[in-house]
Copies of this chain bind each other. A is one copy, B any other.
Amino acid sequence: MDIPPHENTPHWKQRAYRIIFESDTPAGQTFDAVLLVAIVLSVLTVMLESVSQIAAQYGSLLRAVEWAFTGLFLLEYIIRLVVVRRPLAYALSLLGIIDLLAVLPTLASLVMLGSHYLVVIRTLRLLRVFRVFKLGRFVGEGEFILNALKASRFKILVFLTAVLTLVIVIGTFMYVVEGGQNGFTSIPKSIYWAIVTLTTVGYGDISPGTILGQTMASILMILGYAIIAVPTGIVSAQMARPTSDAPTFKQATCHICQAGDHRDDAEFCWNCGEKL
């Protein structure tokens, strides 16, 4: 994703690239650490600003700090564009877009002035929190988890589809059973309740009042309690799968009998005895 600068680029550019884009030099590591702290602090600033008591007292200070961070991140974004060999490729990469999204909301609040729209702009500003995603450069273990999830993505999709079908049907039934009472005011709301119940979250903002409704809710809960075993089983089985000590198999098939599944170290076909 990050493209190394060309061999012919000036030395300072290569150095800046190394510091900003890579972490294999002391300077690069310091830069990353400072960036990480700045991101956390800027996120904290936005968070504190949303607390009305704090905003009333330190509102202008927090906004100033936020603008300072926005300025720094913007500067960083521009430098990244300058030192990278193919700026457009960077700008269109996932990380590049996130870098841009991290400064846009605050900038956007500048252009539009109508107090009426400001609330909406503040909404966009909060997107900055996405910047946190940049922290997500985990390796090894993270990849292990992702690989396990990737390997079982179809199974999980099938499971989620089944769950969705279930909550739609049961939500509709509950709407009928409760007759629009006890918070089951519409089918979408009843489906929302079914999800809240099946996932064992159980807010209690909506809960069945009729005997039939409570019976159905009980069935749904026990179902939810039991079928959580399915995604867990899928991922557990995937992770427990031996990765290397079980004999692995060649992709190639025997050129005589087309038999496949030969051991990786096999020299002869198990089916016809031909040299592989």
C-alpha spacing A213/B176, complex, angstroms: 24
Chain A, 115-142, contact with B by CB distance < 8 Å: what is the 0/1 string?
0000100110010011011011010111
Q: Which of A15-23, A24-32, A66-74, A192-200 has 4 or more CB atoms under 8 Å from chain B?
A: A192-200
Q: Are B225 and A199 in contact (CB under 8 A)?
A: yes
Interface centre among A185, A207, A275, by most B CB within 10 Å? Answer: A207
Question: Which residues of B are found within 8 Å of A269, using beta-carbon distances?
Answer: 268, 270, 273
Indicate which residue in B50, B138, B141, B239 contacts A237 across the interface (CB closer than 8 Å): B239
Indicate which residue in B186, B196, B235 contacts A230 across the interface (CB closer than 8 Å): B235
Question: Which residues of B are found within 8 Å of A162, using beta-carbon distances?
Answer: 136, 142
Indicate which residue in B161, B229, B268 contacts A138 across the interface (CB closer than 8 Å): B161
- Taking Cβ atoms with an 8 Å cutoff, the residues of A that contact B are 43, 46-47, 50-52, 119, 122-123, 126, 129-130, 132-133, 135-136, 138, 140-142, 144-145, 148-149, 154-163, 165, 168-169, 172-173, 175-176, 179, 185-189, 191-192, 195-205, 207, 211, 214-215, 217-218, 221-222, 224-226, 228-241, 247, 249, 251-253, 255, 258, 260-263, 265-275
